[in-house]
Amino acid sequence: MAAMLKPPGNFSVTPHKVSVCILLQIYAPPAQITLPFPFPFSSVVQHNRLGMFLLALTKSCDDIFEPKLDELITQLREIGGELDHWLSDHLTCRLSSLSSPDDLFNFFSDLRGILAGPDSGVVVDDQIILDSNSNLGVFLRRCILAFNLLSFEGVCHLLTNIGTYCKEALSSCPAYELPHLDDSSNEVEALLVYENMDLENFVFDKVTEETEARKMASERVSFHIHAPKALFGLIEDIEVSAELKFKHREKTGEASSFAHHMKDTLRGIDPNGGIFLRTNWQIQGYLCEQADAIEKHSSSVPLNAFESILRQLQKLAPELHRVHFLRYLNNLYHNDYPASLENLHCYFDYSAGAEGFDFVQPTSSASNGFGRYEIALLCLGMMHFHFGHPKQALEVLTEAVRVSQQQSNDTCLAYTLAAICNLLSAIGISSTTEILGSSYGPVTSIGTSLSIQQQLFVLLRRSLKRADGLKLKRLVASNRLAMAKFDLTHVQRPLLSFGPKASMKLKTCPVNVCKELRLSSHLISEFSTESSIMITDGVFSTAWLKNLQKPMGSLVLSLENASGANSNAFHFCAQPNSIPGSVLQLLGSSYLLRATAWEIYGSAPLARINALVYTTCFGNASSSADVALAYTKLIQHLAVFKGHREAFAALKLVEEKFCSISKSQILLLKLQLLHERALHLGHLKLAQQVCDELGVLASSVTGVDMELKTEASLRHARTLLAANQFGQAAAVAHSLFCMCYKFNLQVENATVLLLLAEIHKKSGNAVLGLPYALASLSFCQSFNLDLLKASATLTLAELWLSLGSNHAERASILVQGALPMILGHGGLELRSRAYIAEAKCYLSNPSFSVFENSEVVLDPLRQATEELEILEYHELAAEAFYLMAMVFDKLGQLEEREEAAASFMKHIKALENPQNEQDPLFNIH
Q: Which positions touch another protein (CB under 8 A)?
A: 1-3, 5-9, 151, 153-154, 157, 191, 194-195, 198, 201-202, 205, 208-209, 275, 277, 279-280, 283, 315-320, 341, 345-346, 349-350, 352, 369-371, 373, 376-377, 380, 395-396, 399, 402-403, 406, 437-440
In angstroms, what is the minimal distance from the CB of 335 to another protein?
Answer: 19
Least distance CB 329 / another protein (angstroms) = 19
Smaller CB separation from another protein, 20 or 396: 396
| Closer to another protein by Cβ: residue 161 or 784 | 161
Asked if 136 and 130 count as a contact pair (C-beta separation under 8 A), the reply is yes
Given the complex with another protein, which of 141 and 391 has the nearer CB atom?
391
- Within 8 A by CB and 6+ apart from 188, the residues are 181
- Torsion 793-798-799-804 (CA) sign: positive
Closer to another protein by CB, 349 or 537: give it: 349
Instruction: Give the number of other Cβ atoms within 10 Å of residue 544's Cβ.
Output: 14
CA distance 345 to 325: 9
Residue 384 CB, shortest distance to another protein, in Å, is: 11
Instruction: Give me the least distance between CB of 162 and another protein, in Å please.
Output: 16
In the complex with another protein, which residue's Cβ is closer, 366 or 555? Answer: 366
**Identity of the residue, 199 or 894, whose beta carbon is nearer to another protein in the bound complex:** 199
Closest approach of Cβ 1 to another protein, in Å? 5
- Angle in degrees, 0-180, between the axes of helices 101-111 and 152-172, rounded to the nearest 10: 90
Q: Is 115 strand, coil or helix?
A: strand
What is 468-523 written as a DSSP string? HHHT-HHHHHHHHHHHHHHHHH--SSPPSSSS--TTS--TTSHHHHHHHHHHHHTH
Report which of 747, 744, 751 is spatially closest to residue 772, judged by C-alpha positions: 751
> Do the Cβ atoms of 642 and 870 come closer than 8 Å?
yes
Residue with smaller CB distance to another protein, 402 or 715: 402
Please give the torsion angle defined by the CA atoms of residues 730, 732, 733 and 739, in that order, rounded to the nearest 10 degrees.
140
Name 115's bridge partners: 130
| Three-state secondary structure string covering 284-319 | HHHHHHHHHHHHHHHHHCCHHHHHHHHHHHHHHCCC
Pairwise CA distance, residues 860 & 337, whole Å: 58
**Separation of CA 184 from chain center:** 57
With b meaning 16 or more CB within 10 Å and e meaning fewer, what string describes 658-681?
Answer: bebbeeebbebbbbbbbbbbbbbb
Q: How far apart are CA 422 and CA 761, in angstroms?
A: 39
- What's the closest the beta carbon of residue 147 comes to another protein, in angstroms? 16
Q: Which is nearer to another protein, 135 or 208 (CB)?
A: 208
Pick between residue 377 and residue 592 the one whose CB is nearest to another protein.
Answer: 377
Minimum CB distance to another protein, residue 412 (Å): 13
Nearest to 133 by CA among 124, 142, 123, 122: 142
- Which of 380/755 has CB closer to another protein? 380
CB closer to another protein, 208 vs 699: 208
From residue 702, alpha-carbon distances to 394, 429, 472, 705, 799 in Å are: 13, 7, 32, 8, 38
CB of 275 to another protein, least distance (A): 6
The least distance separating another protein from the CB of residue 189, rounded to whole angstroms, comes to 14
CB of 340 to another protein, least distance (A): 13
Q: Which is nearer to another protein, 277 or 684 (CB)?
A: 277
* CA 75 distance to own-chain centroid: 34
The alpha-carbon radius of gyration of the chain (Å, integer) is: 34
Q: How far is the CB of 369 from another protein (least distance, A)?
A: 7
Looking at the Cβ atoms of 211 and 699, the one nearer to another protein is: 211
What minimum distance in Å lies between the beta carbon of 459 and another protein?
Answer: 20
Q: Write the burial class of residue 769 (CB in 10 Å: 0-12 exposed, 13-18 middle, 19+ buried).
A: buried
Q: At what angle do helices 322-333 and 280-297 cross, to 10 degrees?
A: 10
* Smallest gap from residue 350 Cβ to another protein (A): 6
Going by the DSSP 8-state scheme, the letter that residue 851 receives in this structure is: T
- CB of 799 vs another protein, minimal distance in Å: 55
Q: Which is nearer to another protein, 377 or 753 (CB)?
A: 377
* 3-state DSSP assignment of residue 803: coil
> CA 414, 417, 421: angle at the middle one, nearest 5?
140
Name residues whose C-beta falls within 8 Å of residue 389's C-beta, 6 or more positions apart in sequence: 703
Q: How many CB atoms lie within 10 A of CB 42?
A: 13
